[in-house]
Every structure is written in structure tokens, then in C-alpha cells.
Amino acid sequence: MSFTTLSTGNSIPTSFSPAIPETLEALGISENLVLDLVVRRLLLEGTSTLSSLSKKLRVSIPIVDHTFRYMRAQQLVEVKGMSGNDYHFTLSAAGRQLASERFQISQYAGACPVSLDEYHAATRQQAAKLQIDRRALRQSFADLIVTDRLLDQIGPALISQNSIFVYGPSGNGKTSIAERMLRVYQDAILIPYSIEVDNQIISIYDPVVHHALEVNDPDIDPRWVLCKRPCIVVGGELIPSMLELRLDEASGIYSAPLQMKANNGIFIVDDFGRQLMSPRDLLNRWIVPLDRRVDYLTLRYGVKFQIPFELMVVFSTNLEPSDLADEAFLRRIQNKIFVESVSPAVFDQIFDRVVAARRVPSEPDSAEYLRLLCLREGRTELRACYPGDICNILESISRYESRPVSMSKPDMERATSLYFAKT
């Protein structure tokens, strides 16, 4: 275990600290690909320097200098001047022609990619290894009312780092529980900006789903970004193409599928069974990755390659597991956590926490009265979502009538009549 120093002076443990490559051999990708990146970057910038290219491409100056000297020998660049020991240069006519040709193939001119082999090794090395007990787990779920019984199911499941099936009636916090599982991780991981496969660029780091941490470590290969472990949540919008490489025809750059972006973290399939993609198709797609922790992707022209599937997949559903998957698949999901409807005591605890957070005045018997309202007209179960949802309606009523929020019995009856459908 190594430590990376943040700009704030704190340290976050990481299990992978790649040194900065000083040679093309250590860089792990072809010299031609580095040349392509340099000429495309120069085409975009017009005039540049060794230090500027080093910063933009995130490679060491010796590597940029090696490529520059090759280009100068081939008359692909013209030197315009010097700043200290650094050159100011631009593409020659021959260099611009080469850059235009390479630009037609791919427009990528960002951080130099890492090799597929290095990505495999880094992902395996950064696999989560948890040691957690009930006390620490309760801290991670401190903003939820979670019973010891449920915590004692979640804890071993997280330690195993195998897939988890969270199921039970709707409205009892399955999604909230799944999303908070990420809090148990106290370390950080390094994610590459991109990787190279068969001279193709696959973009991995995505600021939309990856939470980058500001670092102050000049010794780590800048082609990697220090991030919190990722947590990607998909719901009904999930379609098969999201789990495959996607090629941007205009730029010639591939975008990594969601499960690849979630490596070393958590992938939550929320409302499993209600996706545009059928449960059977998703389960067939992932039956091998879940079992062997490897996945297979295909480039547009048919080249197939292996990637690590080093993530914890959490399926959350209010449907019966047996209606969604056969026995062979359910066997591969070794952890199945049933989130049951809440007891009266837990309901009251949730109620007290909600009204305190919303600063809604209530009577000593308000929680009990709301329970009675929620259980009338044939309803037999209390749900964890009821206090918060009813409070939302009470706040809307108060705004409609331009008066303070009231937890009076008439207002609670009015809110529950709006909330529950007639049976």
C-alpha cells in the first residue's frame, strides 16, 4: 500500500503508483502512436514547445524530445526560436500533410494512452479489499435508519466483493442502501485517461462519473487520474449499446462501456427488470464476466480483446428474483439481501428524523397517527418512504395555502388521501 499526497496536505492510500516513463519502451505504446499524438497536437496549436507538448500529452519531456528530434530529422517541423533550453516550433508543409492524414483517422490529441496490459495490471492491483465491522458500517449508513440485522447482511456481502442482489417491496430504501455502499471505501484509485488497443484509442476517464481528487505528487505517471472509487447507477434507460464500445465516427475515438468505467468500484442496476434491455439479455451478457471477472469487447473491425471486470455489481429490484433470472444465474450472485418493510418502531424513528430535518412541528402521537393512516383501506405494510413522501405533500399544501407547515391530524389525513391510490 502506498500513499498519494493531496494538495491539502492529507494522504489517501493507493495500491498502485506508476512511475513516470522516461523512455518510449517504458511508455508501453508504439512510437508511431506517440508521433501521431504530437503531430495532431501541433496541428491544433500551430506553434508549441517541448514543455507545452509534455503537459498536454502528459508524457515526460525526454519522450517528447525524442519524437521532436525524429520529426526534425524528417523535416516535419520548423524551429522558430528558443526559450532557454526549450524550442518553439511548428509543423512544416510535410508535417501538416502528415497531421491532416492522421487527423482523418483519429482526432484524439489528448493525454497519451496506457497499454491494455498495464490497464489489466493496474485494475487487478487496485481490486478492493475491505475489512469492516458493524460499527464502521453503521457510520457509513448513518443518515439512514438501518437495523442491525440488515447491516449484518450487508457487511459480509461487501467484504466478499461479489455481486449483490438487493430485493424487496418498493419504498424501503434499496436504492439508498446500494448507493451508500461506496462510503465504506477509504482509499483512492488511479484511472487512465485512455488506453490503446490495436492502435485505437479508448477513452476511460469520464468527469461525469469519475470524481477526481486534486493531487500534488510529481512522481506519479500523469496519464493516470487519482479518483474516488466510482459508483455508476443505471435504471430504466439501460440498453445493450451502453455495455459495448461506442465509436464516435466524427473523432475516431472509442468510449469505454459503463462497466469498464466502473472498474474498481460499484455498478448499480436500479429497478432491475424494468430496463429497456430485457433481464435475460443483460444476464446473458454478464454471466461470464460475473463468474470469471473478465469481459470481452470488440473493435469496429472485429478485433476482440479482454478487459478486467473488477467491480461489484448490485442489482436492486422490487420484483421476485425467480421471475428475473434462472437458477444458474442466481447462483453466480452469491449475496442476496432482502430489504423488508419497516416495523412500527423503525417507522417512528424515520418519522422523527424526517420532521427534525425538515423542522416540521409535530405532536407526540403524530408518528402513531400517520402509521394508522398508512395502514388503513387494506394496506398491511409500512414503507420507509412514507414519512418523507407525506412530509413533501404537507409542505406543498402549506405553500398552496400560504401558511406554515402543519403536522395536524386533518392535514395528515389530507396528505395521505393524496398519496395513496384508492383500492
Mean pLDDT of the 179-205 span: 95
pLDDT at 256: 98
Instruction: Give the pLDDT score at 7.
Output: 44
What residues form DSSP beta bridges with 89?
48, 79
Flag whether pLDDT at 224 surpasses 60: yes
Mean pLDDT of the region 49-76: 96
- Starting at the edge strand found earlier in the chain, the sheet holding 246-248 runs 114-115, 194-197, 200-203, 253-255, 246-248
Asked whether residue 342 carries a pLDDT value surpassing 80, the answer given is yes
Least Cα distance to 216 among 1, 2, 11 occurs for: 11
Q: Are residues 360 and 269 in the same domain?
A: no
**Residue 334: per-residue pLDDT:** 85
End of a domain among 55, 87, 112? 112
> b/e for 33-47, b at 16 or more Cβ within 10 A?
bbbbbbbbbbbeeee
Q: What is the pLDDT of residue 279?
A: 86
pTM: 0.89
**pLDDT value, residue 2:** 52
**End residue of a domain, out of 300, 316, 338:** 338
- Say if 102 falls within a structural domain: yes
Same domain, 307 and 381: no
Domain check: are 183 and 328 in the same one? Answer: yes
Whether residue 136 sits in one domain with residue 45: no
Residue 39 · residue 99 · CB < 8 Å: yes
Residues 141 and 284 in one domain: yes
Tell me the pLDDT tens digit for each residue of 366-391: 999 999 999 998 889 999 999 999 99
Residues 253 and 329 reside in one and the same domain:
yes
Of 112, 128, 158, the residue that ends a domain is 112
| Contact (CB, 8 A) for 372 and 353 | no
Q: Phi-psi region for residue 371, left (φ > 0), alpha (ψ -120 to 50) or beta?
A: alpha
Res. 34 pLDDT band, cuts 50 70 90 = very high
| 13 within domain boundaries | no
Judge if 75 and 185 occupy the same domain. Answer: no
Q: Which domain holds residue 350?
A: 344-419
Query: Average pLDDT over the chain, rounded to whole?
Result: 92
Q: What pLDDT, on the 0 to 100 scale, is given for residue 423?
A: 65
Residue pLDDT, tens place only, 269-301:
999 988 888 888 888 888 889 889 999 999 999
Does one domain contain both 107 and 126?
A: no
Among residues of the chain, what percentage have pLDDT more than 70?
Answer: 96
Same domain, 127 and 225: yes
Spatial separation of the C-alpha atoms in residues 185 and 228, rounded to whole Å:
9
Q: H helices of 81-229, where? A: 93-105, 116-125, 134-140, 148-160, 174-180
Q: Report pLDDT digits (tens) over 114-168.
A: 999 999 999 999 999 988 999 999 999 999 999 999 999 999 999 999 999 999 9
Q: Are residues 141 and 280 in the same domain?
A: yes
Angle, CA of 171, 381 and 418, to the nearest 5°:
65
Split into its structural domains, the chain has a count of 3
User: Does residue 59 sit in the same domain as residue 140?
Assistant: no
Does some domain include residue 16? no
Query: What was the pLDDT predicted at 8?
Result: 42
Quick check: is 9 in a domain? no
Tens digit of each residue's pLDDT (9 = 90 or more) over 142-153: 999 999 999 999
Same domain, 297 and 328: yes
The CATH number of the domain holding residue 268 is 3.40.50.300
